[in-house]
Amino acid sequence: MNTSEPHDDTGAPVALRRPVRRVVSLVPSLTEAVAATAPGTLVGATQWCTHPAGLEAERVRGTKNPDVRRIRELAPDLVIANKEENRELDVRRLREAGVPVWVTVIEGVEQALRSMRRLFEEALDVPVPEWWEGARAAFAAPPPPPLARAAVCVWRDPWMVVGRSNFASEVLRYAGAANVFQEHADRYPHMGLDEIRGSGADLVVLPDEPYPFSADDGPEEFGENARLVTGRLLTWYGPSLTVALPRLRGELGFEGRGAV
């Protein structure tokens, strides 16, 4: 059993309550990962934690507005958060109330795999699961030469795209497309429609989350260049990584186009 006081991805020490049997996750990707790796430990999750289906955990509102009071009442041994998805204010309030919080930092695939392994081994004190090994194997080879240049939209009115230092951009690269905005100064820059259309992108990728792009909401702006994709395959780090690449390649229309 791990008895030392570990540090989370930000370097903050986390005074864990051992053994960790009650967990609240404020990160949909990690909710799925924990449910698959340490079944029965999740007592709380956000309303956006849609996987696994039928998860029996109390909903503590959203990632940006968690119910801090209710989380405290659930008496978790650990709360799992993410630097990008959750607010520093909520993390601070939980810690000030004496609740241990483990904050992950994930901006790329390799970083995601390292972060999850540390979460399992150092925080939850459980073995690395088989699905993690499968995810590592799926991303073991270097990214292939790009088959297309793509813009990835994550919101509309105002329009926002995936920019620099972004997990989704790297997954897209492994799937065979280069993000035209990957060198932008911002991680999620606002872009006008004309800027997106004039970016030189061969494809405009429209995930179904966080904005729910659909057949009648989004593609009409970009015509035949639009590609609706499953957002979970592009932005979630967890068990979905084991199948993300072949499914994304199919949704992007890359079947039979090069050795990807």
pLDDT tens-place string over residues 6-20: 999 999 999 998 999
Strand partners, 81: 103
Domain assignment of residue 14, yes or no: no
Give me the mean pLDDT over the 192-202 stretch: 97
pLDDT at 5: 81
CA 244 to chain centre: 12
Judgement on whether residues 156 and 214 belong to the same structural domain of the protein: yes
Judgement on whether residues 155 and 117 belong to the same structural domain of the protein: no
Domain containing 246 equals 148-252
Report the domain count for the chain.
Answer: 2
Judgement on whether residues 155 and 221 belong to the same structural domain of the protein: yes
Confidence of residue 99 (pLDDT cuts 50, 70, 90): very high
Domain assignment of residue 2, yes or no: no
Give me the mean pLDDT over the 224-229 stretch: 97
3-state secondary structure 10-46: CCCECCCCCCCCCEEECCHHHHHHHHHHCCCCEEEEC
pLDDT at 260: 38
Long-range own/partner contacts, residues 161-167 (CB < 8 A, 24 or more apart): 161/188, 161/189, 161/191, 161/196, 162/187, 162/188, 163/187, 163/188, 163/189, 165/107, 165/108, 166/107, 167/106, 167/107, 167/108, 167/109, 167/111, 167/112, 167/235, 167/237
Judgement on whether residues 85 and 156 belong to the same structural domain of the protein: no
Judgement on whether residues 63 and 110 belong to the same structural domain of the protein: yes
Domain assignment of residue 170, yes or no: yes
Predicted confidence (pLDDT) at residue 256 exceeds the cutoff of 70? no
- The CATH number for 92's domain is 3.40.50.1980
The lowest-confidence range among 63-72, 156-165, 219-228, 248-257 is 248-257
pLDDT, tens digit, 9 for 90 and up, residues 125-180: 999 999 999 999 999 999 999 999 999 999 999 999 999 999 999 999 999 999 99
Q: What's the mean per-residue pLDDT of the chain?
A: 95
CB 196 within 8 A of CB 151: yes
Judgement on whether residues 189 and 115 belong to the same structural domain of the protein: no
